[in-house]
Chains A and B, each alone.
Chain A
Amino acid sequence: MGYPHTSHPKETPVLSQYFGDPGARSLDGWKQRGGYRALEKALGMSPADIVNEVKESGLRGRGGAGFPTGVKWSFMKPGDGKPHYLCVNADESEPGTFKDREIMRWTPHALIEGAAIGAYAIGAETCYIYIRGEFTEPLRVMNAAVKEAYAAGVIGPNAMGTGKRIDVHVHKGAGAYICGEETALMNSLEGKRGNPRIKPPFPAVAGLFGKPTTINNVETLAAVPHILNRGAAWYKGMSRGNPKSTGTKLFSVCGNVAKPGNYEVEMGFPFKEFLYELCGGPLPGRRFKAIIPGGSSVPIQTVEEAEATVMDYEGFIAQGTMLGSGGVIVFDDSQCMVKHIARLARFYAHESCAQCTQCREGTAWTTRILERIERGHGTMADLDTLLELADQMTGKTICVLSDSCAAPIVSGIKKFRSEFEAHITGKRCPMGATAAA
């Protein structure tokens, strides 16, 4: 449900069912809406059964990579004598993405419940919820909810009276995009500089404090109670396209669109229908020009490509991009693509942790070139330099921030080359816009 909009009939509100419903925030309210039944049930199951159920459901990571959640959990070997940790990645900083924010704002207990189940399933007694530093309201709501859950004995040393310990700590980030990268998040939690770590070792082997760790996205965990309540088969059934993509997905829509907001649809929903019906199409008198469908890190689609896309992991890849985090950024024909790509590059240059040479230097260099072109001072050779740099920035660094910066540049030049050339030959922006300050 695209709060504050009312739910569109073609939506499938599962996670977003109670968005906008203040009553769902409290523990009692959540219980009245069916909350914590799944946790109660889970604590009566064996961890292996929970993992199997989640595997069976086909749930995949909603943070961007789409890794099967049950498989990830199964990497945590029970009985290895080490403490296990669950980290909840609530550092939702991807430009254009704001779904986790709404989950935490409206249904904090959904996350706590999902996290508690996840922790139990992977043999962890401690769970850290790492919340983006700028999320002041979600942080307040989450803190209150965790306090309430502890007070009610839902979590804590004797969770739900089962004698099992599940501690949940809420940790506020300090405003670094890179801390949404799972290994940087762990460094940050440990009190270190938030630099991504080199892999291997993978977190399931040596993660937080060097111990086996699983990191899950907020939306992923929020879906888990529903799977346990209603069964893997039900979840798996929500798949209109490729059977490897199951369940519902929240899409955050922003930009030049009539009805921006969060929308929850079944996997495999047609993107064209989504854009024109659910989101209300373009603003009056405008036409869509380009779409970034999965948060700022994925390649840009032309509107034609977007209209041909089926909204699931495989469907976006088939159209040259990725589902990513589900942050749909829409540009209409009034927008200067050079300006927006420059703005994106500047974001990545600002957020680069500065470890890897290609990222540290490449993001800064490409930003300077793009801004130069945008101001009308570019040359044709700059485009070649951009592509050359983007190539050096792709697939060669510790994390994918550098790739994320390169993706819109490469796809932008490929698909909107005429706009770049117009800036260069005309020595000014043809749309009359100037680069964002």
Chain B
Amino acid sequence: MPTLTINGREVTVPQGATILDAARSLGVDVPTLCWYPQLPIVGNCRICLVSVAGSPKLVPACATPAADGQVVTTESVAAVENRRGVLSMLLERYPVHDIPDGGSRNEFEALVRRYNVPTTKRSPLPLRTGDERAGDPLIQHDMSTCILCTRCVRACADIQVVGVLDVAQRGEHAEIIVGADGNPEHAGCTWCGECVRVCPTGAIHDLIPLAKLKAESAAQPERTVRSVCPYCAVGCQIDLSVRGNDIQRVRSPWIEETTPNIGSTCVKGRFGFDFAMHRDRLTKPLIRRGWVKRDGTWRFEPSPDDVARWGRRGGPWREIREEATTRKQRPKFNPLQSLRLADAPLGDPRDRVATPKEWYEPFREATWDEALDLVASQLVRLRDERGPNSLAVFSSAKCTNEENYVLQRLVRGGLWTNNIDHCTRLCHSSSVSAMQRAMNTSAASGSMREVEHESDVIFILGANTTESHPVFGAAIKRAQKRGATLIVADPRRIELAQRADIHLQMLPGTDVALLNAMLHHVLECGLEDKEFIRTRTHGFEAVREAVAPYTPERAETITGVPAHLIREAAERYARGPKSSTLWAMGLTQHHTGTDIVTSLLNLLLCCGMIGRWGAAMMPIRGQNNVQGASDMGAIPMSYTDYLPVTDPSVRRMYAEAWGVPEERLSLTAGLKVTEIVKPESGVVGMYIMGENPIISDPDVAHAEEWFRNLEFLAVQDLFLTETARYADVVLPGSSFAEKTGTFVNTERRIQLAHKAIDPPGEARADLDILIELSNRIGLPAPFADASAVMDEIARVTPSWRGVSYARLEGSGLQYPVPDAQSPGTFFLFDDEFPTADGKATLTPVEFMPPAELPDAEYPFFMNTGRQLYHWHTGTMTRRATGLDSREPTPTVEINADDARALGIADGDPVRITSRRGSVVLSARVSPRVARSQVFLPMHYREAAANLLTRSDVLDPYAGIPEFKVSAVRIEPVTAERVEEGNGKRSTALGARPAAAESWSD
């Protein structure tokens, strides 16, 4: 702990701290340019040089260790003279005429002003140059303002661990380059914008989505509002720059703030916000034509014309099934091509999924009073006439905790049913059921930071983290750089698999065999944590017997993973000493999802890899609030905090809290998403908030048919989605930026997002809508604002008891937060599990193959999932101009050998057919998929992957469908054959030559 003197003030700093650290701890502002917190120190700008007594030369504050007895002067004559010299030298090649008189626009110019450096040029040196990103839809360069601090190079290489940028040339010719050929695509750029964040001059800057802003909103932002990213469950905090009622851009919180993302974002977080200002936003409630109110009663009396054309609730659109087999244009693969704006008189040609105008035809605009009245009256009518269980509600993992809470309160206390569920059913429900069975928990045990900083081994299964949770993916890459061993189990050779120390590339759905074999080997080597097993678990003997037959050799025949790799992975995982276990959809979305997760938990518990800092158990959640929506009881079997609906004492507590008669609250668990959307479910009326099941449910064709046949459907959403177009009433809600509320990320962190702008037109905050609806159906919801809702949540939720808005500012709180003093809980289960006796239970599981295996007719495994640039059903990302321009069309990843055998070239149109349906989309020949496997992204309406998936085989515990394995066949398509499949001839298609070239223009 050296003690030194800076500008006459003494300070003691930790060993290893630099002079700069010491100065910062005193609040002494030493100017820096190349230095940036958490980036490697290179000390190249030379502006932080300070005087140290006894040293003949100035020393760089950023790179010189603080030493005992040092006497430092930060603004000595020599230091200031040097700084002026550095700044004036940098100014020689800077566009000085653009610096505002007496003012400054960026960090560098602020220093020029601070040191009063004249902005007149003396040298004939030319302005600096560098690689430009001409035509890039998201990030652009103006390298004349580059000062070569190389922050961007290091941010790319060391924070995001990508390495797109570098310095080329020497001396005065040195410049920042983008990959070897200037093409970010070739260099592996992920458009995360980390370079934008760190650039001190704006030489690297993001593009503002001007087309979506009002003209007057393009000037300097008026204010910055802290929010939480609306995409994945990493829960990145973001700062919205706002002017008027428009968001201009997303900025990163300062890197030294404690946020889950330490200020990083991914491409979606930084560039995916403009959907909120898209012209497709619903601004008024819509009511299906035909609903009339007479004598105080709503009746549906559609015109015979409409019925003849569309049926009870159709419209002038093609069903998902029909659309799937139309031709898809894939632009030639040049991400930087300039856009042909002239060709698109209606605006940005990239908005190719904007809501078609004719979709609005079956609706009329309505007042809020009418719309809410209609919804309330129909829900109450169905409840009373057809029974509470004829109703069902989809809540939303994209909505706040408060909204989910109020909605489930409304459903249970007002509609008297437990039929409420949300998309957790389709993602981690099997993790929850397995974790509930093993240790009575439903969330991750640890934190993302411990994985990054502490874990010795990181075992990731079925999680494409660098695309689906990119900010966490980067943290994992940093962990590996620090020395952690990375073991990846995934059928695809995704980025992390390529980087992994061990890649277990198993056949889809064979996880149980793999994990049982790993445990088998751990036990054979005696590497299990015997003490942990003895003191903290039940059921070990049964599991030992169950895994005994799973030798690595036998597993090799099932999984295709070489036995020696299974052994090595098992040993490294068990030896730890601190191994973290991460998994996502690759494990859960199987008809054996609960078994698969159970076999993983068996391995984890037998190795004792939980309950220590650095040994995290982490199901990586998908949506930004899927954890919170479940915590809030938007699931059919429990109230908040997973208190079971079947328990009468729990019921009594909630009945009291909500002021409803106890018998109104049902003691029967409700239906799950996958059970609701079935003819035999008995559900005839639905309220859907912010979900789009017609794209996200398995076997979409059947789902679409089912929704068509509902008696009443109300949808609360931002856009007229594929689901909303079938609604009787559409209520325009609010985007993440238009409301205050809390979200829970994958590490149980409750975070507060603030309202930045007002909803467009007459659209209302989601919470307002729900409160009013609740009041109208007879369940008073006496909440003045979101904060008041949180107070009630805290009252009824034991592990959130200490949560209040005042405490959530900043980095938020990781629950459990049992009281108002608790700092939250960074990791769980250090001494016991929340079970009756504090022990976890091991459950033996046997391998069962996927329900549908490839055969002669359908010879390929089909896997579905996410892409980097899109999100779920595309409702948001496909309306985010930049994101959609990066990935504009649906593609299927196919192995090069398979493609060759089938005569398919990259970009060719292909038809994928399963027993459920077929889609036409273009092929992307990719080394990531193994032979006989294809990967379909789930985001595209025009080629909905879920037309092919199966809805009739579900996990028996969790009810999750098998999204990850379907048997399909794949065939190249010519234009004629598309038409055949389509059954009709479209004029656009007919006008084109039938040659294959016309497919990829």
Contacts and interface: CB of A to CB of B under 8 A. Distances in A.
B82 A396 contact: yes
A193 B170 CA distance: 10
A358 B57 CA distance: 15
A398 B43 contact: yes
Interface string B155-180: 00000000000110111111000000
A44 B56 CA distance: 44
A396 B124 CA distance: 24
Interface stretch (B45-53, B716-724, B882-890): B45-53
Contact of A364 (B122, B166, B171): B171
Interface in B1-59: 41-47, 49, 56-58
A352 B46 contact: no
Contacts of A368: 123-125
B174 A354 contact: yes
Contacts of A355: 42, 44, 150
Contacts of A354: 148, 167, 169-174
B65 interface: yes
A193 B148 CA distance: 15
A398 B60 CA distance: 9
Nearest to B93: A361
Contact of B42 (A176, A198, A200): A198
Contact of B166 (A176, A193, A361, A385): A193
A349 B58 contact: no
Interface in A335-377: 349-358, 360-365, 368-369
A183 to B, nearest CB: 12
B796 interface: no
Contacts of B124: 368
B46 A198 contact: no
Contacts of B125: 361, 364-365, 368
B319 to A, nearest CB: 56
B89 interface: yes
Contacts of B57: 395-396
A367 B43 CA distance: 25
Interface in B972-986: none
B154 to A, nearest CB: 12
B236 to A, nearest CB: 31
B58 A353 contact: no
Contacts of B46: 356-358, 396-397
B90 A357 contact: yes
A360 B172 contact: yes
A434 interface: no
B44 A398 contact: yes
A302 interface: no
Interface in A171-225: 176, 178, 193, 198, 200
A190 to B, nearest CB: 14
Nearest to A363: B171
A398 B125 CA distance: 23
Contacts of B42: 198, 355
Contacts of B60: 198
Interface string A375-387: 0000000000100
A198 B169 contact: no
A223 B98 CA distance: 59
A392 interface: yes
B953 interface: no
A5 B541 CA distance: 89
A178 B170 CA distance: 10
Contacts of A353: 170
A355 B124 CA distance: 21
B58 A358 contact: no
Interface in A204-257: none
B45 A357 contact: yes
A339 B57 CA distance: 31
A174 B208 CA distance: 43
A392 B170 contact: no
Nearest to A392: B85
A396 B49 contact: yes
B171 A350 contact: yes
Nearest to A201: B65
Contact of B90 (A178, A200, A361): A361
B507 interface: no
Interface residues of B, number: 36
Interface in B43-100: 43-47, 49, 56-58, 60, 63, 65, 82, 85-86, 89-90, 92-93
Interface residues of A, number: 29
A365 to B, nearest CB: 5
Nearest to B126: A364
Contacts of A362: 89
A354 B89 CA distance: 13
Nearest to A196: B44
Contacts of B65: 200
A364 B171 CA distance: 7
A398 B85 CA distance: 16
A361 B85 CA distance: 11
User: Looking at A349, A360, A363, which has the most chain B CB atoms within 10 Å of its CB?
Assistant: A360
Interface string B132-166: 00000000000000011010000000000000001
A357 B94 CA distance: 13
Nearest to A346: B171
Considering residues B47, B148, B167, B172, which has the most beta carbons from chain A within 10 angstroms of its beta carbon? B172
B180 to A, nearest CB: 13
Nearest to A381: B122
Given A200-B65, A396-B57, A396-B58, A358 B167 contact: no
A383 to B, nearest CB: 14
B723 to A, nearest CB: 53
Contacts of B63: 198
A385 B57 CA distance: 22
A350 B92 CA distance: 18
Contacts of A392: 82, 85-86, 89
Contact of B44 (A176, A357, A365, A369): A357
Contacts of A396: 46, 49, 57-58, 82
Given A396-B46, A396-B49, A398-B44, A364 B85 contact: no
A92 B43 CA distance: 27
Contacts of A398: 43-44
Contact of B170 (A176, A198, A397): A176
Nearest to A364: B172
Given A198-B43, A357-B86, A395-B57, A349 B171 contact: yes
A398 B148 CA distance: 15
A221 to B, nearest CB: 29
Which one of A176, A354, A392 has the greatest number of beta carbons of chain B within 10 Å?
Answer: A354
Nearest to B122: A385
A357 B47 contact: yes
A365 B169 contact: no
A361 B92 CA distance: 8
A356 B82 CA distance: 13
B43 A352 contact: no
A254 to B, nearest CB: 25
Nearest to B172: A364
Contacts of B169: 354
17 contacts: A198-B42, A198-B60, A351-B171, A353-B170, A356-B45, A356-B46, A357-B45, A360-B172, A361-B93, A364-B125, A364-B171, A365-B92, A365-B125, A368-B124, A385-B122, A395-B57, A396-B82
4 tightest A-B CB contacts, nearest first = A354-B174, A364-B172, A361-B89, A392-B85
Given A361-B92, A396-B46, 18 more contacts: A193-B166, A198-B42, A350-B170, A354-B174, A355-B42, A357-B89, A357-B147, A358-B85, A360-B174, A361-B89, A362-B89, A363-B171, A364-B171, A365-B123, A368-B124, A396-B82, A398-B43, A398-B44
Interface of B: 41-47, 49, 56-58, 60, 63, 65, 82, 85-86, 89-90, 92-93, 122-125, 147-148, 150, 166-167, 169-174
Interface of A: 176, 178, 193, 198, 200, 349-358, 360-365, 368-369, 385, 392, 395-398
